[in-house]
A and B are shown apart, each in its own frame.
Chain A
Amino acid sequence: NAGVTQTPKFRILKIGQSMTLQCTQDMNHNYMYWYRQDPGMGLKLIYYSVGAGITDKGEVPNGYNVSRSTTEDFPLRLELAAPSQTSVYFCASSYSVPRGFPVPWNTEAFFGQGTRLTVV
């Protein structure tokens, strides 16, 4: 099983450039997340999605955009890259039963291997 696949693994951008970080999962998970990890800061949630066509902002959405046109794919777009966006980016997916379901259930989140982005 491929699980969660992120591309690229590494990227160097110049200030003002744009790029898309790709994320795809093959587990038919409804929830998908984008996080950034900075040293000593843990993981900060950028955007998340609870299903195709539905996205919402996390803690640190400024400078990013997402879309979720299919269950499998959840790309993260950086417009006008800034040095503050230098970070390691992780995509994750999980399955959760709908709210109000009689038996609560949520799988663990499965993570991709990360994209190390440097903006210079």
Chain B
Amino acid sequence: AQSVAQPEDQVNVAEGNPLTVKCTYSVSGNPYLFWYVQYPNRGLQFLLKYITGDNLVKGSYGFEAEFNKSQTSFHLKKPSALVSDSALYFCAVRDINDYKLSFGAGTTVTVRA
């Protein structure tokens, strides 16, 4: 069975500071990994993905994530957070040998001015 853990319900940072949202996963094979963001009363918007290749993945709005196979992690990072980054962030995983796409519980990010 596959699963995703986002250990922090909330992350609070000051504008201009680095932002990190943590994600660890469990799969039996190799993973496809994704990050999504959700703004209030909206659907999910794709930020970035890891399929294969370089472990450092760059995505939309200045976000990036690093795939670490030994630690089974895929943490989302942004060097300098903006107030507009305040939202709900989801990590998702799919085992390449499975069909299901599983999501973490989400992390609420608040960036204060």
Using a CB–CB distance below 8 Å, which chain A residues touch chain B? 31, 33, 35, 40-43, 45, 48, 50, 56, 58, 90, 92, 94, 96, 99, 103-106, 108-114
Instruction: Known A58-B100, A109-B92, A111-B44; judge A40-B105 contact (CB<8 A).
Output: yes
Across chains A and B, the number of contacting residue pairs, with CB separation under 8 Å, is 65
Contact between A43 and B90 (Cβ–Cβ < 8 Å)?
yes
How far, in Å, is B48 (CB) from chain A's closest CB?
A: 8
> Whole-angstrom distance between the alpha carbons of A26 and B30 in the complex?
29
> Whole-angstrom distance between the alpha carbons of A103 and B30 in the complex?
13
Contact between A104 and B96 (Cβ–Cβ < 8 Å)?
yes
Using a CB–CB distance below 8 Å, which chain B residues touch chain A? 9, 30, 32, 34, 36, 42-46, 49, 51-52, 90, 92, 94, 96-97, 99-106
Contact between B44 and A90 (Cβ–Cβ < 8 Å)?
yes
In the complex, chain B residues whose CB is within 8 Å of the CB of A103: 52
Contact between B99 and A50 (Cβ–Cβ < 8 Å)?
yes
In the complex, chain A residues whose CB is within 8 Å of the CB of B46: 108-110
B1: nearest residue on chain A (CB-CB)? A59
Contact between A45 and B43 (Cβ–Cβ < 8 Å)?
no
What are 14 A-B residue pairs whose CB atoms fall within 8 Å in the complex?
Answer: A33-B101, A40-B9, A42-B104, A42-B105, A45-B100, A45-B103, A48-B99, A56-B99, A90-B44, A92-B101, A99-B96, A104-B32, A104-B52, A106-B49
